Amino acid sequence: MAIITLCTLIISQCHKDRLCIVQMSTCIDVATEAVGAGVDPALAVSLSWYETRLRPGLTSKMGAQGPLQVIPKFWCKSEPCDYVEAGLRALKYYLRKEPNERKAICRYNAGTCKPKSWDWAGRVIKLKNKLLKEQNNDYFNY
């Protein structure tokens, strides 16, 4: 999947110019690093969309940081932390450890798979599948 196409699809509803630029830049960073890390870029971008709407500077009340909302004490190897790299490393860890993608995303989000996290993981996968389908439709329309 072309990274620019993927990112254009995910932020197509953006209406605030400055935020759109930040989201596009973050999307390109996440997707590009995902390719390099051997992670599906559509999954990584979808995860980042649901974690932060592709806004890189957010910190959660639990201390999760960056566009993929990683907990630095668990996933950051150095200071300053590359939150995208750390998030992709965490995602890859859970994808290897769990029997299916949804459970891996659920664990990424909450550590355990309670109903709320399971539903959230389903939304991430649904967005990933929608992006892949739309990207494929766009490809065949040229």
Q: What is the pLDDT of residues 56-110, one digit of tens each?
A: 999 999 999 999 999 999 999 888 999 999 999 999 999 999 989 999 999 999 9
When the pLDDT of each residue in the chain is averaged and rounded to a whole number, the result is 90
Q: Record the pTM.
A: 0.90
Q: How high is the pLDDT of residue 142?
A: 38
High-pLDDT (> 90) share of the chain, %: 70
Q: How high is the pLDDT of residue 78?
A: 86
Q: What is the pLDDT of residues 17-60, one digit of tens each?
A: 778 889 999 999 999 999 999 999 999 999 999 999 999 999 99
In this prediction, residues 125-135 reach a mean pLDDT of 91
Cα of first residue to Cα of last residue in the chain, in angstroms, is 15
The answer to whether 32 and 3 are in contact (CB under 8 A) is yes
Torsion angle of C-alpha atoms 68, 27, 131, 95, degrees rounded to 10: -30
**One-letter amino acid for residue 78 of the chain:** S
Cα atoms in the Cβ-side hemisphere of radius 13 Å centred on 34: 25
Q: Rounded to whole angstroms, what are the CA distances from 37 to 3, 44, 90, 118?
A: 14, 11, 11, 25
